[in-house]
Structure 1
Amino acid sequence: MTEPTDTRPSGRLRDRAEDAVLRGLIAAALALPLKARLWLMGRFVARVIAPLAGWRKRAMANLSYIHPDMAEDARRQLADRVADNAGRTMIENYDPKGLLRRMADAPLTGEGLADIEAARAEGRPVLFVTGHYGNFEAPRAALVARGYRIGGLYRPMSNPYFNAHYARNMHALSEPVFEQGRRGTMGLLRHLQKGGMAVLLFDVYAGDGAPIPFLGQPAPTLTSAAEIALRTGALLIPFFGIRNPDGTSFTPVFEAPIPHGDPLEMMTEATRRLEARIAEDPGQWFWIHRRWKPERQARRQRKRAAASTGP
C-alpha cells in the first residue's frame, strides 16, 4: 500500500506534453551545481511560471485580502519572493538524496527536540504538523538523515504523469508514504499506532473544515491531524524548515508539542504557530495557494443560512 504504483499513468495528450516539458526542465536544472540550480529555478518560476500560471496574480490577491493597505509594488515584490522560494523548493525536493546530504549536518533547533528523542526511545508515536513555509521537507530530511523514519500523507496531483514521478520522489525521501484518502489515512493511522512518526501539512483549504482564523480571516481547516494524534496518543509537534538568507541552507525548528485537548483548539494553536513564522518572514509562506476562497465561503454560508430558515 505504501509503494508507488508501477502502472503506467493514462491521461490527456496535454497532460503528457506538460509533464514532458517539466521533466526536461527538472533534468536540466539537476545537472547544474546546487547554487546555480536554485538561482535558476527561483528566477524561472518567479519571472516565467508565476505570471503565466496566475500564481503572481493569486499571491497578490491573497496579500490584498489580508493586507488591504499594502501598496501594489510591495505586494508584487513579495509575490515574486514567494515564487522564487517555491521554485527553489520544488527542485530541492526533486533531489531527495541531495537534500538528505545537505540536512545531515544542519543544526537542529527548538524546544521539541528533547520530546522527539524521548518519544523515539519510548516507542511513542509523533505526528509533525507544518505548513507550506520555507522548505517543508527540510526538517523531515534532517531527521531522516539522522536515522529517523518519517512517514507522510500526500495529495495526488491532477496531472497523472506528473503525479507518478512526484509520488516516487516522496517515497525516495522516507517511507511510508500514503496517498490522501480513506485508505491512505488508515495506513497512516496504523503506522502511528505502531509507534511510528509522520508529518501532515494542514494549511490548505478544506471546504468541510472548521473556519479557524488565519492571518485575520477565517480559513477552513481540517482538524484531522489533532484527531489522529488523540486517537493514537501521538505527540503533535509543529516543525518548520526556515530558509536562511543565503537561499540554500535551512534552519530546521522543532517546536514544543501542542497539548492534547479539544481538536479545534489544538489546530487553532498549530495555526498560531504558523502565523508567527509568517510574521517573521512573509516571503517564505506559499501565498500562491487558494487558502481562504472568500467567495466560496460566502456561498456556503448563504446555503447554510437558507437551509436553517427553510419552509
Structure 2
Amino acid sequence: MTQSAPSSAPIDVSMIDRIVDAALRGAIRTALALPYARRVAFMGAIARGVAGPVAGYRARALSNLASIHPDWPEARRRVIARDVLDNFGRTLIENYSWREFGARLAQTPIEGGGLPHLEAARAEGRPVIFVTGHFGNHEAPRHALTGRGYQIGGLYRPANNPLVNAHYASTMTDVSGPVFPKGRKGTMGFVRHIAAGGMATILFDLHARDGVPIPFLGRPALTATTAADLALRYDALLVPYWGIRQPDGLSFQIVVEEPIPPSSPRAMMEDATRRLEIRVTAHPEQWFWVHRRWKGVGSQ
C-alpha cells in the first residue's frame, strides 16, 4: 500500500493529550486481550459508562438531540445518547481489530443497487468516490468490498490529539487502498488517486467552515462539496454506502446505493444528505450526535 513517509518533525503535544492517549491505549490493550464479541461489548460499555460522559460527549449528544428533536421525551433522548456512545465504543475497537472485523464482513451480503455500477466502473478503470457519514460503522462497507477484491482508499480528518491520530490512522491505512489526511498535501494525494481511476471514501457529515448550507435533519449545516466537485471533475461515480449495525451489536447490514446522478455540486450533496437523513431517521442511535454539525449556521 502506498503511504507517505512519516514526518521527522517533532509532534507538539500537551500533557492532556498524553493522558488521554495513555488511557485510550490502556483500554484498547485490555479490550484486545478479550475474545472478539466480549471485546466489542466491553468497549461499548466503557464508552457509554465512562469515557463518553467524562469527555463531555453525552452532554453534547443530548444538546444536539434536544435541538433537533425537542418534541421527543427526555427519556428517549437519554436512551439515544447512551446508545450513540455504545456504538462509538464498538466502532472504535472494531476498527482496531480490523483483521477480525474484515474477516467477519467478507461474506456479508451487499444490498442496494450500487454493486453493478461498481463492477462496471472497476472493469472500465473509472474512479469511484464513496460518500458516507459517521453512522453505524463507516468502515464496514469498505471492509465488505475489500473482501470482494476492491481497493478503496479515503480522505480523513486527523484526530485533534496527534498521539491518538498516530495509531488510529493505522487502522485505516492497513485495510485497503491509500488513505490521505485532510490538508493541502493529503488532498493533493487524494486527487491524484482519483484522477488515476482509484476508489476512495469521503465522510461528508462534519462541519465544513467553507461549505454550503444544506438542510440536515431540519436545520442548515455547512457541508463540503468536495466529493461532488471531484466526481464531476474526474467523471467519477458518487456512491453512498452504509454499514448499519444490527441488533446483536456485532453484525452489519451493508448497503451500497445507486450512484448520485451528476448535476451541480450543491444538488449532488443535497442528495447525499437526504440519503444520510433516511439512515439517521431509521437508526438515530447509530449517528454520532457528538459532532458540532450545525455550528455557524444555527444554535449549537
- The 2-side partners of 1:138 and 1:186 are apart by 26
Give the conservation status (yes or no) of the 8 Å contact 1:39–1:88: yes
Q: Which amino acid aligns with 1:297?
A: V
- The 1-side partners of 2:12 and 2:221 are apart by 34
What is the match of residue 101 of structure 1? 103
Q: Residue by residue, what CA displacement relative to the aligned partner does 1:28-63 show, whole Å, maximum 9, x if unpaired?
A: 101111111111111111111121111111111111
Gaps of 5+ in 1: 300-311
Aligned-pair distance for 1:283? 0.8
What is the match of residue 86 of structure 2? 84
Aligned-pair distance for 1:6? 6.1
Range that drifts further, 209-218 or 46-55: 46-55
Overall identity of the aligned pairs, in %: 55
Give the conservation status (yes or no) of the 8 Å contact 2:220–2:298: no
What is the match of residue 306 of structure 1? none
- The 2-side partners of 1:165 and 1:50 are apart by 20
User: Alignment partner of 2:153: what SS?
Assistant: strand
Give the conservation status (yes or no) of the 8 Å contact 2:219–2:298: no
What pairs with 1:222-261 in structure 2 (closer than 5 Å)? 222-261=224-263
Aligned-pair distance for 1:166? 1.3
What is the match of residue 5 of structure 1? 6
Give the conservation status (yes or no) of the 8 Å contact 2:213–2:297: no
Alignment: residue pair count:
297
What pairs with 1:200-279 in structure 2 (closer than 5 Å)? 200-279=202-281
For the pair 1:20 / 2:32, whether they are aligned, the reply is no
- The 2-side partners of 1:68 and 1:13 are apart by 38
Gaps of 5+ in 2: none
Aligned-pair distance for 1:202? 0.2
- The 1-side partners of 2:255 and 2:21 are apart by 34
Give the conservation status (yes or no) of the 8 Å contact 1:189–1:232: no
What is the match of residue 33 of structure 2? 31
User: Alignment partner of 1:165: what SS?
Assistant: helix
What is the match of residue 128 of structure 2? 126
Q: Normalization by structure 1: what TM-score?
A: 0.92
> Residues 174 and 193 (structure 1 numbering): CA distance in 2 closer, same or farther, change over 3 Å?
same
What pairs with 1:42-81 in structure 2 (closer than 5 Å)? 42-81=44-83
> Residues 66 and 121 (structure 1 numbering): CA distance in 2 closer, same or farther, change over 3 Å?
same
- The 1-side partners of 2:26 and 2:298 are apart by 42
Q: Which amino acid aligns with 2:182?
A: Q
Give the conservation status (yes or no) of the 8 Å contact 1:2–1:175: no
Give the conservation status (yes or no) of the 8 Å contact 1:4–1:167: no
Give the conservation status (yes or no) of the 8 Å contact 1:10–1:161: no
- The 1-side partners of 2:154 and 2:114 are apart by 19
Give the conservation status (yes or no) of the 8 Å contact 2:43–2:89: yes
> Residues 37 and 212 (structure 1 numbering): CA distance in 2 closer, same or farther, change over 3 Å?
same
- The 2-side partners of 1:52 and 1:12 are apart by 18
1:150 pairs, out of 149, 152, 159, with: 152
Write out the 4+ residue segments of structure 1 that deviate beyond 4 Å after TM superposition: none
Q: Residue by residue, what CA displacement relative to the aligned partner does 1:206-253 show, whole Å, maximum 9, x if unpaired?
A: 122111000000001011110010111100000000111111011110
Give the conservation status (yes or no) of the 8 Å contact 1:149–1:175: yes
Q: Residue by residue, what CA displacement relative to the aligned partner does 1:263-309 show, whole Å, maximum 9, x if unpaired?
A: 0000000000000111111111111111112xx3369xxxxxxxxxx
Q: Kindly name which structure, 1 or 2, has the bigger radius of gyration based on alpha carbons.
A: 1
Q: Which amino acid aligns with 1:263?
A: P
- The 1-side partners of 2:133 and 2:5 are apart by 24
